[in-house]
């Protein structure tokens, strides 16, 4: 098997694994109310299916830089898929909520490894001038999976049993494991790297507390003692963790990647874009379901056309990145994103389903110009010995940004909804207060996201991004 075929097969297997892993991550977002009904648990308890998954996922991602040094590519990939398979079996047969939650935690352990691993492999097997195209293919998994998850989940819950959310995954994950055993080659063989136990403890505690604090801020409020304590203690622990990494000769997670200006600036843009993406994914369904009375399936259907266009465009924008460089793509993307946020700042009870669908398509077009080129530009700026650390940092930043984006947008929405409810009651309005407050508060939350998009554009213009990388040789360009 020649090198080119190896690369194609390798990326295909990684893509399948990554797609299933990320699809599973967002599959339960619209199913939580169903689980409350089935297992007779409250909103705070059922939220752990999402919060617990994110916590395990988030604390494992920084560990992947060490795991990629210690174990081979095959070992890591197959292990992550086996964890996803075992977790799915637990969830599918769960007789009670505790078993379902254990299954989700096992799934999360596999998901935490897969994304940094995929990015690192692509960065190692492709020369710089071909990385955009390859990362564009990974964008299929990163963007398309969470976008189709609500539609798929809504359909399964409405027309089949909730258990099929997990039963359907089992044979697909099994196929990926078989393909990995047959076709996956080792990019790295692994070495006897020493595990810095204190760094693992600090990393797990720090990232875990920060993620826990932000993920609960939206529902419990920013003045909640546990929320504030979690975030403050988490940040202090991360300061200790960072100090230890800077002093180490062989750091567990090399935070020196932030000494690279391009990596740091693209990470800032990444934080803003991820906050917008997560916030939109939570805010639009809230507006549709609480404000307009649409079902979860309807909300998922609205997102589907944009997701399909996003999937088609992701490999295309990857090729354009190789040809034109990052900055033109970022600017074009944000020119789509900013108006997409602006047009939903004045939502009403008459805003049509078609209007929102077209707006979401424009948003997704914009994001496809940004997401994978952004990751590629940041990682391309790093020397090869820092790439695994760069991917781990990159994905950790995305997790935290997603939690922050969700928390902030829910806080703005809740605060504004309370204000509007008071105003409407003062004016003597008695009917449809819940629906009206949801509609008005959603529009206000989108103002915040539009401001974020403008800030991302300013940072993009200020970032000294390089142009396209010329092929080093005719051989590499093939």
Name the pTM for this structure: 0.80
* Residue 9: Cβ-neighbour burial (10 angstroms; 0-12, 13-18, 19+): middle
Q: Which of 188, 210, 232 is the last residue of a domain?
A: 188
Tokens of 362: 């424009």
What is the distance between the alpha carbons of residues 199 and 136, in angstroms, rounded to a whole number? 33
Asked whether residue 105 is assigned to any structural domain, the reply reads yes
Tokens of 230: 């979690």
Phi-psi region of 40 (alpha: psi -120 to 50; beta: other; left: phi over 0): left
Tokens of 238: 């991360």
Same domain, yes or no: 228 and 295:
no
Q: Which residues contact 5 (CB under 8 A, 6 or more apart)?
A: none
Same domain, yes or no: 458 and 344:
yes
Same domain, yes or no: 209 and 284:
no
Asked whether residue 5 is assigned to any structural domain, the reply reads yes
Residue 192: predicted pLDDT: 64
* Residue 358: Cβ-neighbour burial (10 angstroms; 0-12, 13-18, 19+): middle
260-298: burial string, b at 16+ Cβ within 10 Å, e else: bebbebbbbbbbbbbbbbbbbbbbbbbbbbbbbebebbb
Asked whether residue 418 is assigned to any structural domain, the reply reads yes
Same domain, yes or no: 203 and 344:
no
Asked whether residue 477 is assigned to any structural domain, the reply reads no
Cβ–Cβ under 8 Å, residues 437 and 422:
no
Residue 80: predicted pLDDT: 93
Asked whether residue 184 is assigned to any structural domain, the reply reads yes
Residue 190: predicted pLDDT: 57
Same domain, yes or no: 296 and 442:
yes
Instruction: Supply φ then ψ for residue 429, to 5 degrees.
Output: -75, 130
Q: Which of 188, 223, 240 is the last residue of a domain?
A: 188
Same domain, yes or no: 76 and 204:
no
Same domain, yes or no: 245 and 258:
no
Cβ–Cβ under 8 Å, residues 362 and 254:
no
- Positive or negative, the Cα torsion across 277, 407, 327, 22? negative
Long-range contacts of the stretch 338-345 (C-beta < 8 A, 24+): 338/450, 338/453, 338/454, 338/457, 340/366, 341/276, 341/446, 341/449, 341/450, 341/453, 342/446, 342/450, 344/442, 344/443, 344/446, 345/443, 345/444, 345/446, 345/447, 345/450
Task: Indicate the SS3 state at residue 224.
Answer: coil
Give the chain's domain count: 3
- Positive or negative, the Cα torsion across 436, 439, 441, 443? negative
Asked whether residue 247 is assigned to any structural domain, the reply reads yes
Cβ–Cβ under 8 Å, residues 80 and 17:
yes
Same domain, yes or no: 415 and 384:
yes
For tokens 């922050």, the residue is: 404
Rounded to 10 degrees, the C-alpha dihedral 334/335/338/342 comes to -170
Asked whether residue 473 is assigned to any structural domain, the reply reads no
Asked whether residue 433 is assigned to any structural domain, the reply reads yes
Domain around 334: 253-467
For tokens 């998009």, the residue is: 453
Angle at 59 between CA 55 and CA 64, to 5 degrees: 140
Same domain, yes or no: 338 and 321:
yes
Cβ–Cβ under 8 Å, residues 375 and 134:
no
Same domain, yes or no: 242 and 309:
no
**pLDDT tens digits for the chain (478 residues)?**
344 446 778 888 888 898 898 888 878 877 777 888 888 887 678 878 877 887 888 888 888 878 887 888 888 999 999 999 999 999 999 999 999 999 999 998 888 888 888 888 888 888 888 888 888 888 777 777 877 787 788 788 888 888 999 999 999 999 999 999 888 877 765 566 677 889 889 988 998 898 888 877 766 778 889 989 999 999 999 999 999 988 888 888 888 899 899 999 999 998 898 888 878 877 887 788 777 888 767 777 888 888 888 888 888 998 898 888 888 999 999 999 999 999 988 888 888 889 999 999 999 899 889 888 888 888 888 888 888 888 888 888 888 888 788 788 888 888 888 888 888 778 777 677 777 888 888 888 899 899 999 999 999 888 887 666 555 543 444 3
Same domain, yes or no: 319 and 444:
yes
Rounded to 10 degrees, the C-alpha dihedral 330/334/337/343 comes to -170
What is the distance between the alpha carbons of residues 156 and 158, in angstroms, rounded to a whole number? 6
Tokens of 126: 């492709």
Q: Which of 251, 269, 295 is the last residue of a domain?
A: 251
Q: Which H helix or E strand runs over 193?
A: none
Rounded to 10 degrees, the C-alpha dihedral 420/421/424/425 comes to -150
CATH of the domain at 116: 1.20.1250.20
Residue 164: predicted pLDDT: 93
Residue 473: predicted pLDDT: 42
DSSP 381: T
Q: What distances in angstroms separate CA 98 from CA 24, 30, 85, 257, one per listed residue?
A: 18, 19, 18, 40
Residue 394 has, within 13 A of its CA and on its CB side, a CA count of: 30
Same domain, yes or no: 32 and 116:
yes
Residue 282: predicted pLDDT: 77
Residue 466: predicted pLDDT: 67
């Amino acid at each position: 098997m020649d090198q080119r075929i190896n690369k194609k097969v390798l990326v295909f297997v990684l893509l399948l694994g990554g797609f299933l892993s990320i699809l599973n991550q967002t599959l339960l977002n619209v199913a939580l109310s169903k689980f409350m009904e089935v297992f007779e648990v409250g909103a705070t308890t059922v939220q752990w299916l999402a919060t617990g998954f994110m916590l395990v996922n988030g604390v494992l991602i920084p560990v992947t830089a060490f795991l990629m040094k210690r174990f081979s590519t095959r070992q890591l990939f197959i292990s992550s898929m086996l964890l996803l398979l075992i977790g799915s079996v637990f969830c599918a047969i769960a007789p009670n909520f505790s078993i379902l939650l254990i299954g989700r935690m096992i799934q999360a352990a596999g998901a935490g490894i897969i994304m940094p691993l995929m990015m690192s492999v692509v960065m190692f097997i492709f020369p710089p001038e071909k990385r955009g195209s390859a990362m564009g293919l990974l964008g299929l998994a990163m963007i398309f999976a969470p976008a189709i998850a609500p539609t798929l989940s809504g359909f399964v819950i409405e027309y089949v049993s909730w258990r099929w959310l997990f039963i359907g995954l089992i044979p697909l994950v099994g196929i990926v494991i078989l393909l990995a055993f047959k076709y996956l080659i080792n990019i790295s063989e692994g070495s006897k790297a020493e595990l810095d136990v204190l760094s693992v403890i600090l990393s797990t505690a720090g990232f875990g507390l920060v993620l826990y604090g932000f993920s609960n801020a939206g529902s419990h409020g920013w003045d909640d003692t546990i929320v504030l304590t979690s975030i403050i203690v988490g940040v202090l622990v991360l300061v200790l963790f960072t100090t230890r990494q800077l002093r180490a000769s062989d750091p567990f997670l090399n935070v020196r990647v932030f000494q690279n200006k391009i990596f740091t600036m693209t990470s800032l843009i990444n934080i803003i874009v991820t906050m917008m993406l997560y916030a939109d994914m939570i805010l639009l369904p809230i507006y549709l379901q609480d404000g307009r009375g649409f079902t979860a399936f309807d909300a998922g259907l609205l997102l589907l056309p944009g997701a399909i266009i996003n999937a088609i465009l992701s490999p295309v924008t990857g090729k354009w990145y190789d040809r034109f460089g990052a900055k033109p793509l970022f600017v074009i993307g944000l020119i789509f994103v900013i108006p997409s946020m602006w047009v939903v700042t004045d939502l009403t009870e008459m805003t049509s389903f078609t209007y929102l669908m077209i707006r979401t398509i424009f948003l997704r077009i914009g994001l496809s110009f940004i997401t994978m080129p952004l990751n590629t530009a940041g990682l391309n700026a790093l020397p090869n010995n820092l790439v695994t650390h760069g991917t781990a940092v990159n994905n950790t930043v995305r997790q935290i940004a997603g939690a922050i984006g969700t928390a902030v947008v829910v806080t703005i929405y809740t605060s504004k909804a309370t204000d509007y409810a008071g105003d409407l009651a003062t004016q003597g309005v008695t009917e449809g207060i819940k629906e009206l407050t949801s509609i008005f508060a959603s529009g206000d939350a989108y103002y915040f996201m539009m401001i974020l998009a403008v800030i991302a554009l300013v940072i993009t213009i200020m970032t000294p991004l390089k142009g396209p990388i010329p092929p080093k040789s005719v051989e590499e360009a093939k």
